[in-house]
Amino acid sequence: MGAALRGPFFTNSRRGNPKEIFPMAFSEMTSKERLMTVLRGGIPDRVPCMPDFSNMIPCRLTGKPFWDIYMEGNAALYRAYSKAVEYFGIDGWFQTNSAMTFQRESLADIKVTRTVDPVQNNRFTIHSRYDIDGDILTQGKTMFVADSPAQTERLMKDIVRDFPIYKKMLGRIVSCETPLLEEQRAMCGDKGIFCLTVGYPGIQAFIGAIEGGVEAAVYACYDEPEIMEEWAALMDRDYVRMAEMMLDQKPDVLLLGGSGTLTLATPALVRKYALPTIKTITRMCKEAGIPSMLHSCGRSMAFLEMLYNETDLDCINPLEEPPMGDVDLAEVKRLYGDKLCLMGNLNTTNVLIEPKERVAEACRRAIDAAAKNGRFILSTGDQLGRDTPDENIFAMVETAKTYGKYN
């Protein structure tokens, strides 16, 4: 492998035996030690292997209908993921949305009722009806026997009419509870990094509540800028407060999650809606001494320079390669690898469902492209599909262990 022990931790100004200066880099680390070392810019014992399979793979391994896991909630999915980490022997990425719950000030009398359709064609839909001071908003989520849930109806059908009602649900966050935090932190242990997740404003956040998907959200940004700016300001207020509360709990990492929040928008929309919150939260992380990570799948080259120059971000993923993304991993390493830890970027369809030999070859190419001088986590270009062969995940782990050694 080309990732020799050089760079920021091994310069000509250093004297003595490197094994004496950095003994942990030459002995086997725990997964937590390995990941935290690379996230902080150090040289671990080997390249970490942390494929993204927090949903469908763990559900499949339980042998249960997927809706059983999702109906029980994120805590059940977290337990399934923990078992999957042990099964595959990966460096674990223990993301949680269930460790903390947030309470808002009341701005309205809100009553919620839910009904469930009968199962048909291996699926059923949960309908939620929100009575907000007498005004009604509805949404639906469809559950599947062997797939992740899909939001099939969103609260706001007409943003001009519905936003004044919807924002009554957005009182200030006044407190939080941590019913599962220590249990989930203990479940992670040394198997990986314990990661609390916070959002940020942008297209992905908007489409969670606007009927019509990406198209409707983008049109709203241009047709109803005052509404969208007010909504983004409320999100910024809430996400920053959530981040503050999360950092008080001392996670290993704070993840800014949002799938295509950046890549579904133009750079101008990202700069207007998402960047201010990202700047604030990554600065908070830096001041707290806790690494920050951002997830945004898709075509990300247009935003990397912005994140590199204007934020305190520590790590970005999944850096997808074509056709799903536009990243050349070696080029991104050359341009931004002195500051950003890069996590990715094996193609989930063109590579990960192919024979294991091709997977191992792709792992070696990624390691050669990005592992030199550290700041690289071998991973996948977004969430692994349900039918990804187990042997291909094992091939990733084995290649990281054998080829990902630092000389």
| Residue 407 reports pLDDT greater than 90 | no
* Residue 245: predicted pLDDT: 98
| CATH for 18-104+175-402 (3.90.1010.10, 2.130.10.30, 3.40.1410.10, 3.20.20.210) | 3.20.20.210
* Residue 260: predicted pLDDT: 77
Q: Count other Cβ atoms within 10 Å, centred on residue 76.
A: 18
Q: What are the domain boundaries of the chain?
A: 18-104+175-402, 106-170
Q: Which of 67-76, 308-317, 346-355 has the lowest mean pLDDT?
A: 67-76
* Residue 26: predicted pLDDT: 55
Cα 236 to Cα 240: distance, rounded to the nearest angstrom: 6
**When comparing pLDDT for 12 and 370, which is higher?**
370
Q: Which of 24-33, 300-309, 353-362, 365-374 has the lowest mean pLDDT?
A: 24-33
* Residue 168: predicted pLDDT: 97
Q: In the chain, pLDDT over 70 holds for what percent of residues?
A: 93
Going by pLDDT thresholds of 50, 70 and 90, the confidence category of residue 363 is very high
Backbone phi, psi, residue 112, to 5°: -120, 130
Integer CA distances (angstroms), 139 to 151, 152, 169, 309, 365, in order: 8, 8, 14, 39, 45
Beta bridge partners of 403: none
| Residue 10 reports pLDDT greater than 60 | no
Give per-residue pLDDT as tens, 148-172: 999 999 999 999 999 999 999 999 9
Cα 205 to Cα 311: distance, rounded to the nearest angstrom: 20
* Residue 12: predicted pLDDT: 31
* Residue 60: predicted pLDDT: 95
